[in-house]
């Protein structure tokens, strides 16, 4: 009964330790507990079930499990560090790529401006200004036409509302005249 109780306590401790996700030494702690439980069981089986054999097996198993758990923790830390480094390098590459794309766009825009400057004449400038004035005038005319159509639509809606109100008043008067009040 004493062995069963000790084994149960160790198993419960192992279950509790596995639930601690934020523990930085989780592998070591699990290794110690698992090693102690398995070492205690092995000590009980190899010895004559004597408490000294159980304790010696638990201590030896805990030590070996702790060493194995430390190795697991170190490997996990190395993997996390390597992943963080890869993520950092990727982000730096993305930033460099975005800067390069911006530089290319700026250079292309400058090249186009320079090309226009080299090849344009006074007649080209005058033609471009005439076209800009024509487009602006067309835009102004369309804006004016739109505003006028909106004003007409509002006036129609107001007139329809007045008609509806007048029809309601007429219907009310007709009911009163016919005695249907």
- Chain centroid to Cα 114, Å, comes to 42
If one compares 34 and 78, the residue with the highest pLDDT of the two is 78
pLDDT value of position 33: 81
d(CA 164, CA 174): 15
> Per residue in 141-175, pLDDT tens?
999 999 999 999 999 999 999 999 999 999 999 99
pTM, full prediction: 0.43
d(CA 167, CA 153): 21
Q: How far apart are the first and last CA of the chain?
A: 98
């Amino acid at each position: 009964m004493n062995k069963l109780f000790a084994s149960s306590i160790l198993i419960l401790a192992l279950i509790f330790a596995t639930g601690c996700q934020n523990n930085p030494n989780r592998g070591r702690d699990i290794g110690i507990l698992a090693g102690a439980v398995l070492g205690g069981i092995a000590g009980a089986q190899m010895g004559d079930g004597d408490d000294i054999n159980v304790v010696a097996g638990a201590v030896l198993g805990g030590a070996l499990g702790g060493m194995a758990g430390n190795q697991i923790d170190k490997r996990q830390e190395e993997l996390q560090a390597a992943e963080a480094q890869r993520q950092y390098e990727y982000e730096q590459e993305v930033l460099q790529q975005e800067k390069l794309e911006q530089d290319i766009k700026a250079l292309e825009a400058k090249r186009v401006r320079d090309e226009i400057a080299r090849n344009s004449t006074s007649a080209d400038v005058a033609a471009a200004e005439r076209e800009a004035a024509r487009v602006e005038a067309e835009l102004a005319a369309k804006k004016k036409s739109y505003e006028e159509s909106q004003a007409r639509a509002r006036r129609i809606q107001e007139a329809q509302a007045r008609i509806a109100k007048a029809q309601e008043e007429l219907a009310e008067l007709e009911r009163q005249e016919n005695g249907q009040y």
